[in-house]
Amino acid sequence: MSGEARGALPVLRERGQHEVFCGLTGIVWLHRKIQDAFFLVVGSRTCAHLLQSAAGVMIFAEPRFATAILDERDLAGLADANDELDRVVERLIARRPDIKMLFLVSSCPSEVIKLDLSRAAARLNERLRSGVRVLSYSGSGIETTFTQGEDACLAALAPLLPREESRSLLVVGSLPDVVEDQFARIFGELGVAVRFFPARRSDALPPVGPGTAYLLAQPFLSATAQALEKRGARRLAAPFPFGVEGTRGWIEAAARWAGVSAERVEAAVAPAERRARAALEPARERLEGKTIFFFPDSQLEVPLARFLSRELGMKLVEVGTPFLHQEHLATELALLPGGVRLSEGQDVERQLDRCRAARPDLAVCGLGLANPLEREGITTKWSIELVFSPVHGYEQAGDLANLFARPLVRAGRLSV
Per CB under 6 A, 149 contacts ligand SF4 = no
Binding-site partner at residue 249 among other proteins, ligand SF4, none, CB < 5 to 8 Å by type: none
Q: Which segments of 117-261 does DSSP mark as H helices, in order?
A: 117-127, 148-157, 177-190, 222-230, 243-258
Per CB under 8 A, 399 contacts other proteins = yes
Per CB under 6 A, 243 contacts ligand SF4 = no
Binding-site partner at residue 19 among other proteins, ligand SF4, none, CB < 5 to 8 Å by type: other proteins
Binding-site partner at residue 309 among other proteins, ligand SF4, none, CB < 5 to 8 Å by type: none
CB-nearer residue toward ligand SF4: 45 or 274: 45
Burial class (CB in 10 A: 0-12, 13-18, 19+), 270: exposed
**What's the sign of the alpha-carbon dihedral 119, 120, 124, 127?**
positive
Binding-site partner at residue 65 among ligand SF4, other proteins, none, CB < 5 to 8 Å by type: other proteins
Measured from the CB of residue 411, what is the shortest distance to other proteins in angstroms? 16
Per CB under 6 A, 24 contacts ligand SF4 = yes
Per CB under 8 A, 207 contacts other proteins = no
Angle between helices 301-312 and 243-258 (to 10 degrees): 110
Measured from the CB of residue 330, what is the shortest distance to other proteins in angstroms? 26
**What's the sign of the alpha-carbon dihedral 287, 292, 296, 302?**
positive
Measured from the CB of residue 146, what is the shortest distance to ligand SF4 in angstroms? 10
Q: Are strands 2-6 and 9-15 parallel, antiparallel or unpaired?
A: antiparallel
Per CB under 8 A, 188 contacts other proteins = no
Per CB under 8 A, 134 contacts other proteins = no
* Cis peptide preceding 198, ω within 30 of 0: yes
Buried b (16+ CB within 10 A) or exposed e, 209-247: beebbbbbbbbbbbbbbebbeebebebbebbbbbbbbbb
Q: Which segments of 13-147 does DSSP mark as H helices, in order?
A: 27-33, 45-55, 72-76, 78-95, 108-112, 117-127
Count, residues near other proteins per rule CB under 8 A: 81
In the region spanning residues 10 to 39, those forming contacts with other proteins, defined by CB under 8 A, are 16-25, 35
What value, to the nearest 5°, has the Cα angle with vertex 232 and ends 188 and 38?
75
- Please list the residues that pair with 214 across neighbouring strands: 170, 235
How many CB atoms are closer than 10 A to CB 353? 11
Among 11, 12, 22, 89, binds ligand SF4 (CB under 6 A): 22
CB-nearer residue toward other proteins: 135 or 370: 370
Residue 382 to residue 160: CA distance in whole angstroms: 35
CB-nearer residue toward ligand SF4: 141 or 249: 141
Binding-site partner at residue 367 among other proteins, ligand SF4, none, CB < 5 to 8 Å by type: other proteins
Residue nearest to ligand SF4 (CB): 141
DSSP, residue by residue, 363-387? EEE-HHHHHHHHHTT--EEETHHHH
Residue 342 to residue 299: CA distance in whole angstroms: 12
Per CB under 6 A, 140 contacts ligand SF4 = yes
Measured from the CB of residue 234, what is the shortest distance to other proteins in angstroms? 30
Site string for ligand SF4, 38-57 (x = CB under 6 A): -----xx-xx--x------x
Residue 200 to residue 121: CA distance in whole angstroms: 22
Site string for ligand SF4, 99-138 (x = CB under 6 A): --------xxx-----------------------------
Residue 109 to residue 114: CA distance in whole angstroms: 8
Per CB under 6 A, 20 contacts ligand SF4 = no
Per CB under 8 A, 198 contacts other proteins = no
Count, residues near ligand SF4 per rule CB under 6 A: 13
Residue 74 to residue 113: CA distance in whole angstroms: 10
CB-nearer residue toward other proteins: 90 or 252: 90
CB-nearer residue toward ligand SF4: 140 or 218: 140
Per CB under 8 A, 299 contacts other proteins = no
Residue 370 to residue 365: CA distance in whole angstroms: 6
Measured from the CB of residue 24, what is the shortest distance to ligand SF4 in angstroms? 5
Positions that interact with ligand SF4 (CB under 6 A)? 22, 24, 43-44, 46-47, 50, 57, 107-109, 140-141
